[in-house]
Structure formats: C-alpha cells, structure tokens
C-alpha cells in the first residue's frame, strides 16, 4: 500500500466517525421523539398514556430482536447497505405512525418498525468503526456514541419546537423528512473497513480455518460479554427512567427534577470522551471493569439524595459513569473476536443491552408500587451493577488459551 493511500485512509476513518455520529444522533433522536410527543398524541387521539408509552417498550424489544439480525447481515453485505435499509425503514415507520388511526397500529408502526430500524444503525456502525481503527479505537467509538448522546440536546428540542406549531402527525412527517435529508447522504459515506475489503479480494486460508459464527456465539468470552452488557444496562435503566419521579417524591419541583435528568445526559457526554481516552491509554477491558464498579457504587448515592444539590451531584457522577461504559463494549469485542463477524458480536451485546434497558422502567414501577419507595430500586441496581462488574472481571481473567480460540 502506498504512503498516499495509507494517509487517505487515516483521514477517511474520521469521516466514518463523523458520519456515524450524525446517523446515530438522528436515528436515536427520531426514536426518542415519542416522550416529547406523548401528551400531544394523547390529547389528540384520546389514547391512554400507558398505551402510547407501550410503543416505547415495544421499540426496545424490537431493537433487541433486530440488533443481532442487522449486525450479522452487515457482516455479509457490508454496513452501508444495512444502514441505508434501516434508514428507509425508519422513514417508513415514522410516516406510517403519523397516519395511524388506532392505538394498535401506532404501537406496531412506531414500536416495532421504528425500533427495528434503529437497531440497524447501532451495531453495524460500531462494528464498522472498530474495524477502521487500530489506534485511538476507544476514542473513535466513544465519539460515535457521543453523537448518539447528542440526540436529547438536538433532535428532542427540534421535535418540541415543531409540535408547538404543528400537530403531532405533521411533526412526525417532518422528522421523517429530516431523517431522509440527513441520514441517507451520511449513509453513503460508510464503507467497509479496508482489512475486510482486502480479505474479500484475497481470501486467506487462515481466515477460512478460523472459528465459525456458531462457535463464537457459544464461546465463554461471548456469553460473558453479553451477560455483562445486559447487567450493565439493567443497572442504569431503572434509575434513569425514574429519576424525575423519584426527585418529585422527595419534594423537588417538577421542572427542577427534569433538570436533574438533563444533567445526567450532559455529564454522559463527558463520560463518553473521558472513558474513550482512558480506554486507549490503559486498555478498554481494564477501564470497563473499574467504570462498572464506579457505576454500581454511585447509583447507591440516590438513596441519600434528598435536596436538589445532592441530586445534582449524584446525577453528574451517575451520568458520567453509565454513559462512559457503553462504547467500551464495542472496543472489547473488536479486541477479542474476528473482524469478519464483528457485526454479529456487537449485535449480540446490543441485543442484551436493549433487553436490560427494557426491564428497568417496568421493574422500577413494580418496586415503587409494592413498597411506596424507590430505595429498593437503587439497592437492586447496585446488586446488578456489582454483577456486571464481576462478569467483566471474569472476562479479563479468562485463560489466554480460551480467548485464543476466538482471535481478533
């Protein structure tokens, strides 16, 4: 490879990161437009708030189901085709949702279709980015994740502004147009990692002799990584979802309680960058282990938070840790599994994390209804957080011969 070609690839990999951040931001922003539109939809249609909210639960389940499918498909046909297909499906889902005349139709169109389409963005993009980087990999993945984290600060305000001058149906149609205008051009910038392109052009006997997908997904490293991802998201999903409600029960005014939630998201932006830099410096696995321990300890702080100042302190620390840990899973996957099946592996962790995210809100509600307090929610989150910490620690202690069975 000429030095000029190498230089071009070194620069183009950051274009992949920028495109990935934009794609994630718009896709996740479109999905999370539902909380903003919840009340306008209920007032216009008479549908119950619970029924409309169920579409979000369906979306998480659909993301879980779709993650491994889209990831595996991206291994076969490349990330660009998958991202384009997901974008077209997202446009269709938003448009059909805006035309829904029954609650069931809305739950199917927004929950199932939009949820599945969002899954087509995360795993293929993360797999693609990890393949483009041998250096600064943790930072690159974290930057893509940070782009997704920008959704509450960009797309959500946009949706809130649109619905002030339009009904919710028109707003969803405008969001669909924004998705088409931004995501389709960005998807054209996504290319397979050079190593995979070269491998496809010149098949290597050692690659053919490597582990199969079936062997990898049944291996101890993969199963432990998936379990860690599930427990990690189960740890923070309940506290995230119930932060505002918990603060209100402590006597915090609603608007101030919402600002606590916003601070979590803002702190998460910093966490993604900092943990990405730490992952490059000290290793993604070691950073993840320490970050998961910190997440478990910090979540207990909510039990002792009673005033706005203490809520802000815990929210900043909690947002910093929970947002920072998630991109590290993609980096660890790249370091321990074959690049040719990276979409499948990351899709598996994304599936597990989506299930974990879906459980938190429901379990938190059940706990509060049963005990009239959120304390047991945070104690349970601490227990699951310690479980994720121990799983990640076990992953790093696996015998080298076992890890060698599924080479990077």
Looking at the 3D structure of the chain, how many domains does it have? 2
Q: Could you give the count of Cα atoms lying within 13 Å of 194 in the half-sphere of its Cβ? A: 14
CA-nearest of 228, 266, 237 to 391 is 228
Confidence of residue 408 (pLDDT cuts 50, 70, 90): very low
In this prediction, residues 194-202 reach a mean pLDDT of 67
**198 occurs within a structural domain:** no
* 145 and 235 housed in the same domain: no
Burial class of 397 by CB neighbour count within 10 A (0 to 12, 13 to 18, 19+): exposed
Is the same domain home to 109 and 244? no
Gap between the Cα atoms of 402 and 311, Å rounded: 44
Place of tokens 């979306």: 59
Residue 151 has pLDDT above 90, yes or no: no
Q: Residue 244 has what pLDDT?
A: 78
**Could you tell me if 211 and 405 are in contact, meaning their C-beta atoms sit under 8 angstroms apart?**
yes
Q: Is residue 56 part of a domain?
A: yes
Q: Return the pLDDT at 7.
A: 62
Task: Return the CATH number at 223.
Answer: 1.20.1250.20
Using the 3D structure, point to which of 158, 191, 224 is the last residue of a domain.
191
Same domain, yes or no, for 170 and 23? yes
* pLDDT range class, residue 377, cuts 50, 70, 90: very high
Tell me what pLDDT residue 80 has: 94
Mean pLDDT of the region 186-202: 79
The C-alpha atoms of residue 35 and residue 150 are separated, in whole angstroms, by: 16
Binned at pLDDT 50, 70 and 90, residue 126 comes out as confident
Distance CA 97, CA 113 (A): 9
Residue pair 347/66 in contact (Cβ under 8 Å)? The answer is no
**Which H or E element spans position 239?**
helix 220-249
Does residue 235 share a domain with residue 180? no
User: According to the model, what pLDDT value does residue 360 have?
Assistant: 79
Q: What confidence tens digit (pLDDT) does each residue in 71-105 have?
A: 889 988 989 999 999 999 999 999 999 999 999 99
pLDDT band for 35, please (50, 70, 90 cuts).
Answer: confident
Better-predicted residue by pLDDT, 149 or 307: 307
**Mean pLDDT computed over 367-396:** 92
Q: Does 408 fall in a domain?
A: no
- Rounded mean pLDDT, 291-313: 94
Residue 168 within any structural domain of the chain? yes
Q: Same domain, yes or no, for 113 and 256?
A: no
**Do 29 and 153 belong to one domain?**
yes
Provide the mean pLDDT of the chain. 86
- Hey, is 176 helix, strand or coil? helix
Phi–psi pair at 374, nearest 5 degrees: -95, 0
Query: pLDDT grade, residue 339 (50/70/90)?
Result: confident
Largest Cα–Cα separation, the chain: 67
Find out whether 70 and 78 touch, Cβ atoms under 8 Å.
no
SS (H, E, C) 90-139: HHHHHHHHHHCCCHHHHHHHHHHHHHHHHHHHHHHHHHHHHHHCCCCHHH
Domain co-membership, 180 together with 285: no
Distance, in Å, from the CA atom of 17 to the CA atom of 126, rounded to the nearest integer, reads 9
- Structure tokens that stand for 278 in this block: 């730490």
**Model-wide pTM > 0.95:** no
Quick one: 173 and 218 in the same domain?
Answer: no
């Amino acid at each position: 490879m000429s030095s000029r070609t190498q230089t071009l690839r070194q620069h183009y990999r950051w274009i992949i990161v920028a495109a990935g951040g934009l794609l994630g931001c718009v896709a996740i922003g479109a999905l999370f437009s539902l909380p903003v539109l919840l009340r306008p939809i209920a007032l216009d249609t008479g549908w119950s708030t619970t029924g409309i909210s169920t579409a979000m639960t369906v979306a998480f389940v659909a993301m879980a189901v779709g993650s491994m499918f889209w990831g595996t498909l991206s291994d076969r046909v490349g990330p660009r085709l998958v991202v384009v297909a997901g974008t077209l499906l997202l446009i269709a889902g938003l448009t059909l949702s805006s035309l829904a005349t029954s609650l069931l139709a809305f739950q199917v169109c927004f929950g199932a279709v939009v949820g599945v389409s969002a899954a087509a963005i995360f795993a293929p993009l993360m797999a693609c980015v990890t393949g483009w980087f041998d250096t600064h990999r943790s930072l690159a993945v974290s930057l893509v994740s940070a782009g997704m984290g920008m959704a509450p600060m960009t797309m959500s305000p946009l949706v809130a502004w649109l619905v002030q001058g339009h009904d919710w149906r028109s707003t969803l149609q405008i969001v669909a147009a924004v998705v088409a205008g931004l995501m389709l051009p960005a998807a054209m910038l996504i290319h397979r990692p050079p190593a995979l392109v070269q491998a496809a052009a010149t098949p290597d006997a050692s690659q053919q002799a490597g582990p199969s997908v079936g062997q990898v997904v049944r291996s101890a490293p993969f199963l432990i990584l998936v379990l860690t991802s599930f427990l990690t998201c189960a740890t923070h999903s309940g506290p995230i979802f119930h932060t505002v409600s918990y603060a209100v029960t402590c006597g915090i005014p609603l608007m101030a309680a919402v600002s606590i939630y916003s601070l979590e998201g803002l702190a998460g932006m910093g966490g993604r960058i900092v943990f990405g830099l730490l992952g490059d410096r000290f290793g993604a696995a070691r950073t993840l282990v320490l970050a998961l321990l910190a997440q478990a300890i910090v979540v207990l702080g909510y039990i002792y938070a009673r005033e706005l100042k203490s809520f802000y302190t815990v929210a900043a620390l909690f947002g910093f840790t929970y947002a920072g840990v998630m991109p590290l899973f993609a980096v660890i996957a790249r370091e321990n599994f074959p690049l040719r099946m990276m979409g499948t592996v990351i899709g598996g962790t994304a599936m597990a994390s989506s299930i974990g995210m879906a459980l938190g809100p429901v379990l938190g509600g059940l706990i509060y209804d049963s005990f009239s307090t959120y304390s047991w929610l945070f104690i349970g989150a601490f227990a699951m957080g310690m479980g994720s910490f121990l799983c990640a620690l076990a992953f790093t202690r696996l015998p080298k011969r076992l890890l060698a069975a599924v080479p990077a």
